Structure 1
Amino acid sequence: MQHATTRPGPRSRIVVSDADYDRLTGLARAYLERAPAMAEELLAEMDRARITRAAAMPAGVVQMGSTVTILGNDGSTQRITLVYPGEADITESRISVLTPLGTALIGAAAGQVVSWRSRDGRDLSVTIDAVEALSSARLP
């Protein structure tokens, strides 16, 4: 099982479409003053990404708009959709890419364990069980 993380240390390479890369890099730069820690984390993720054409993205890789089934360490299952900040709605399981979990998921693939540090300093991780086809995701 591969391991992706938003914490320092050895990390597997992620795959991001050229369109997501451009939008997410711009988004992170726009948020540098409002939310510097999250913006810098997203920029760091983009720095380690392998960029590919959107049409050539491998199946099972988390992209903006993907619906992802994640497995918690306690055996729980949750389905979430990765979206831009303006579309986030926790009651509908739409998670912003500017959250620690959202940043950890982008570019990771089914079967990988993703780890992140929560805003309160806890180290968390989940396994990506499945990645479903893209849903509509727009830049706010």
Structure 2
Amino acid sequence: MKKPNVIISQSDYLKISNLLDTIDGGQNCDNLIEELERAQILPDKEMPDDVVKMHSTVTFSIATTHRTFTLKLVYPYERDKEKSISILTPAGSALIGLSVGQRIEWSLTQNSAPTTVTVKSVSN
């Protein structure tokens, strides 16, 4: 499956890039860096409403578990385990920049086969 187009706001791009510069990554950080590198960067005021941004509340499904989640995408230091998901988690990094209806093939654990993550709705 071809990776979908992703759109990231200029401020999210800068904050996520700065965060990645301060941590010792790993495979998931490498995947997030790849997403940032291939993303279309837009000024904050031009971001479409249906695109996942930092602090968006996202309803998404995971194909392998047949489960749907509604969580707020946050930075690691803002995480509330029951209501949010960190941008540095595999699912969190898969979501950034996707719009409603888009899906991406993504590994959710270090050695797992990719699964499909689908964005169902976004609210900001």
The normalised TM-score by structure 2 is 0.88
Secondary structure of the residue aligned to 1:90 is coil
Indicate the residue corresponding to 2:35 in structure 1.
Answer: 45
Q: Which of 114, 130, 135 matches 2:121?
A: 130
Indicate the residue corresponding to 1:86 in structure 2.
Answer: 77
Q: Encode CA deviations 1:69-95: one digit per residue, 9 max, x unaligned.
A: 113436533201100011123222x11
Count of aligned positions: 122
Matches within 5 A, 1:54-133: 54-73=44-63, 76-92=67-83, 94-122=84-112, 123-133=114-124
- In structure 2, list runs of 5 or more residues that go unmatched: none
Residue type of the partner of 2:115? L
- In structure 1, list runs of 5 or more residues that go unmatched: 4-9, 134-140
Indicate the residue corresponding to 1:14 in structure 2.
Answer: 6
Percent identity between matched residues is: 34
Secondary structure of the residue aligned to 1:80 is strand
Secondary structure of the residue aligned to 2:17 is helix
The Cα shift of 1:59 comes to 1.6
Secondary structure of the residue aligned to 1:39 is helix
The Cα shift of 1:96 comes to 0.5
Contact preservation (8 Å) 2:107, 2:115: yes
Secondary structure of the residue aligned to 1:129 is strand
Contact preservation (8 Å) 1:66, 1:132: yes
The runs of at least 4 aligned residues of structure 1 exceeding 4 Å deviation read: none
Distance 2:72 2:29 in 1: 20
Indicate the residue corresponding to 1:26 in structure 2.
Answer: 18
Distance 1:66 1:43 in 2: 20
Q: How has the CA–CA distance of structure 1 residues 69 and 36 changed in structure 2, closer, same or farther, with 3 Å as cutoff?
A: same
